[in-house]
Structure 1
Amino acid sequence: MLSESKYLNRQNWSMFSLIVMIAGLLFSKFLITLSFVFLLAQAVINPDVISLLKNYLKQPAFMAITAIFFIYIFSVPYSEDLNYALERIRIKLPFLLLPFAFFAIPKMNDKVYFRLVYFFFWLMATICLVLVTIYLYDINYYTELYKKGQIFPTPIQHIRFSLLVCVAISIGVYLLIQSGGDSKSPPDLRLENDLRSPPDLPFLTSNKLEQKIVLALILFMIVFLHVLAVRSGLLALYLLFIFFIIYYILKTKKYLVGGVLFFGIVLFGIIGSQYIPTLKNKISYMRYSVDLFFKNENIRELSDSRRLASIQAGWALGKAHPILGIGVGDIRKETNEYLEKNYPSLANLGLLPHNQYVFYFAVTGLLGLGLFLVLTCFPLFYKKAYLDLFFVSHHIIYFSSFLVEHTLETQIGTTSYLLFLLLGMRHFSERN
């Protein structure tokens, strides 16, 4: 057994590693790699590592996430380009290593968990405030960028950033409900009724001013996403709206209020598309680029054309090899060959199918795709995790991104997906 001082050292090291990982998501890929090393070190450099590993192997949800790594491994034998296969597998290494590293974190009780997600909420809100300030400083310049299919700068790639804003919004809603919101909020909206014991929230509970600030920041980030006008983020946001409304109706039985909320969300989206300049320009540019794609005219520099053509390529490759796919090593070459034949102007751009599900279908066939679907959904049923608002919200955000992006084929996409997934799973393992 570990002494108390060593236990605390490992806990502090774990928290430091997680904060570095969060910072890395927004500022530096090097910090992400560094945080991986730190987390793995605290897990492995541990006299109890053998017993910890034995216990880990008995955790079905953690093993399910680990198993995602091996889906690509099974396709290597029938891949011709082994170097590229190894490159794809390297990006998937976090699925192999991080589940055990998170499971080995000594403590993830309510106070630790809520403080971590609350830190992320405030970090994202602060960054969004800074970005809006930059946007307002030269609003005409940045608004014009959207007419050219460009976007105003974000700390990381704008699609990944928009998803992280959605995560922050869902955290804010989650924490407000956990705290009970203001005195007029229906008490039965609290998630504690869904859990085996009430959560121990270390903030917000009695601080009404803090609750109002959090609510204001949630609303601000919702507006910010519309100004940013990234479609992946907006898709995730509106799916979250629908989920929150359904959740509210099921908890309160107030169907009329739920209907009014739904109508209000639709109305807000319509008004925003007409009166938020960046969003309006983005929609106009999207119509223009999609029209050119179907005419197959001047499509090389259009992001929508690249996305649609790459998905078509992945779908065609999957249909041609429906059982086992083409192998992870050959996806880039085969996609490029399809584009050379059907969309010559998009060839030699290194494109991959911009849909995670189509990507798996092309690479590993129906067998790999089916396994991927089962493994990614399995954690929702771990310790009744489907009852947790934020955990479900996280899955809605990233499952929606899988429809329009190959989210898990990038370091930041993989890390952001695994970070909050594994944090939640580690939290559930301690609560129940």
Structure 2
Amino acid sequence: MGSLSGNVPFKLNIRTDVSSLMFYSMILLAMSIPLSEFGMSIAQFLLLAFWIHEGADYRKSENQNYHGIINSLRVYFNAIGFNLTGKFRMLFNNPAALAVISLYFIHLAGLLYTSDLNYALKDLRIKLPLLSLPVIIATSTALTKERLNQLLSFFCLAVFAGTVASIYVLFTRHVSDPRELSIFISHIRFGLTICFSIFILLYFLYKKTGTTRFLRVIVALGILWLFFFLIILESVTGLAITGLLIYFFSLIASSRIKSKFIRWAVLIPISLSPVLAANFFRQQVKEFNKVEAVDYSKLEKYTHYGTPYVHDTCTYGIEKGKYVGIYLAPSELRQEWNRRSNLSYDGLDNKGQELSYTIIRFLNSKGLRKDANGIRSLSDNEIAHIENGVANTAYLENFSFRSRIDQMVMGYTNYVKHGDPNASSVMQRVEYWKTSAYIIREHWLTGVGTGDLNQAFSTAYQEMGSKLDDAFRNRSHNQFLAIFVAFGIFGLIWFLFTLFYPPIAVGRHTDYYYLVFFTIIFMSMLTEDTLETQAGATFFAFFNALLLFGRKREPDKA
């Protein structure tokens, strides 16, 4: 079989020495990150067990009586103690590793002034990989380049397997939201693993890693497939990070072109691309709010059943150039909807949104009047879509990133005009950040502690009179703000130190793999609480430690 990971045949020769067993456990962990939280836990327990055993060799005594066995165990545990002493001596002589694990000790320090100890202990359990993985990897045998590439290859294969499983879900189940395609971990974390895999494979392709042209074609197709899947997943974060990294590396590559004319001919369009992207979004907002002129004197005043229409141009806003509240008969909608659905018209849909608003928007997107006949014209499938929170027929189109852009534009427009952040996850984040800033003003020095974030946000939303629905009242969705809220200004400064100091100290700040990984993590932390879930904490802790401390020095610069 050919290789994706080196210029030798890909043969994972099964060996039973402890270093090899640790390597296999690391492969299991890498493959579990996109596929299985249970697998992540098992792999980390195996790593810990082999790490403790590494350097100690238990051999049965030739004398199989009681005293012989006890003596063998005594020798074995003495060896373990000696081995662990050496490992911790190695750790304490590695300032960069100490800086990395100090992030966990910030959370431990936050226990001193937290009131919700149960939540704090749960948080510490989730974040345990931030301590265990750097300690294990920094004090174990470093991987060779061949083994590192093998591990990364298995990681990419696992991510690919995750996308195949998602496509199976797409074609065999009713999917009303692309986020439902990620069945193993959250769609955002899955998007990050896809993004990382794309740039791992790009590096394999650039370095012509592999023995045959056929395998390089497979790698190229894999890159295209993963990028296409990001579009299917409608992963704004993943696509934005991918675009940023492509932009960054394109600038580097074009700046190295020898011909001055060609260099500038390439550099100028690349440099202007962010301006063009911003202008595109501005145009979308402008088009979205360009409304057709309405002659109210020509609008019909009554429904087919004689109910007066309400023509509301204020409450429901504009969508795709039309007033959503035109031809509205709430009493008919309520009666007919409650006849066709078990969900109350005056209640919430399955996404926690006001169901009446979802119904009105869905009918508007179909060009139907918001009355009894409008509801009657809907199919049973469309009723189910509305119950599941689908507010526009465009959102039902598979592989339509355009609908995601429309959602963002509509959410932005509603937030600017009405201060309502509920219609868009992007605008909800703005509300989360405002709420974080509100808490920080009161607790800027020490923060609220490890376990009190939920209570602090709940109180802040009430005091601010936030328009966010209860279902959307989440925490910071920004890792830096989350740290600031929990641990204050000094906690934030130290957190930034733990991110920037280690790669500089060990000379990895110009390494391709680490640059890609760091960019992915840093960008995700701007819009997500990346470290607040097991998958996010493990993804960060494992690859951060691996790329900093877990491989032998064979410089591959970006």
* C-alpha separation in 2, matches of 1:126 and 1:327: 39
Say whether 1:14 aligns with 2:22.
yes
Structure 2 counterparts to residues 8-407 of structure 1, below 5 A: 9-46=17-54, 47=79, 48-132=83-167, 135=170, 137=171, 142=175, 145=176, 152-177=181-206, 179=207, 181=208, 203-204=209-210, 206-252=211-257, 254-260=263-269, 277-293=399-415, 295-297=418-420, 299=422, 303-304=425-426, 306-341=428-463, 342-343=465-466, 346-347=469-470, 351-407=474-530
* C-alpha separation in 1, matches of 2:275 and 2:143: 38
- Structure with the largest fraction of helix: 1
Q: Secondary structure at the match of 1:361?
A: helix
**Which is worse superposed, 98-107 or 236-245?**
98-107
Q: CA deviation at 1:126?
A: 4.0
5+ long unaligned stretches in structure 2: 1-14, 55-78, 285-393
* C-alpha separation in 1, matches of 2:151 and 2:234: 28
- Matched to 2:400, the amino acid is T
Say whether 1:418 aligns with 2:447.
no
Q: Secondary structure at the match of 2:507?
A: helix
Instruction: String of CA shifts for 1:331-359, please: whole Å, max 9, x gaps.
Output: 11010111123226544767221100111
5+ long unaligned stretches in structure 1: 1-6, 182-202
* C-alpha separation in 2, matches of 1:160 and 1:374: 24
- Label 1:82 to 1:348 Cα distance change in 2 as closer, same or farther (>3 A): farther
* C-alpha separation in 2, matches of 1:57 and 1:329: 29
- Label 1:82 to 1:127 Cα distance change in 2 as closer, same or farther (>3 A): closer
- Matched to 1:320, the amino acid is E
- Matched to 2:462, the amino acid is E
* C-alpha separation in 1, matches of 2:273 and 2:212: 29
Q: Secondary structure at the match of 1:328?
A: coil
**Which is worse superposed, 118-127 or 315-324?**
118-127
Choose between structure 1 and 2 for higher RCO, CA contacts under 8 A separated by at least 6 residues: 1
* C-alpha separation in 1, matches of 2:21 and 2:214: 33
* C-alpha separation in 2, matches of 1:267 and 1:208: 37
> What count of residue pairs does the alignment treat as equivalent?
394
Q: Percent identity over the alignment?
A: 23
> Contact 1:357–1:369 at 8 Å: present in 2 too?
yes
* C-alpha separation in 2, matches of 1:412 and 1:304: 22
* C-alpha separation in 1, matches of 2:477 and 2:102: 23
* C-alpha separation in 2, matches of 1:265 and 1:217: 27
Q: CA deviation at 1:58?
A: 1.0
TM-score normalized with structure 2 length? 0.64
- Label 1:211 to 1:265 Cα distance change in 2 as closer, same or farther (>3 A): farther
> Contact 1:88–1:328 at 8 Å: present in 2 too?
yes
* C-alpha separation in 2, matches of 1:213 and 1:267: 33
Instruction: String of CA shifts for 1:179-198, please: whole Å, max 9, x gaps.
Output: 2x4xxxxxxxxxxxxxxxxx
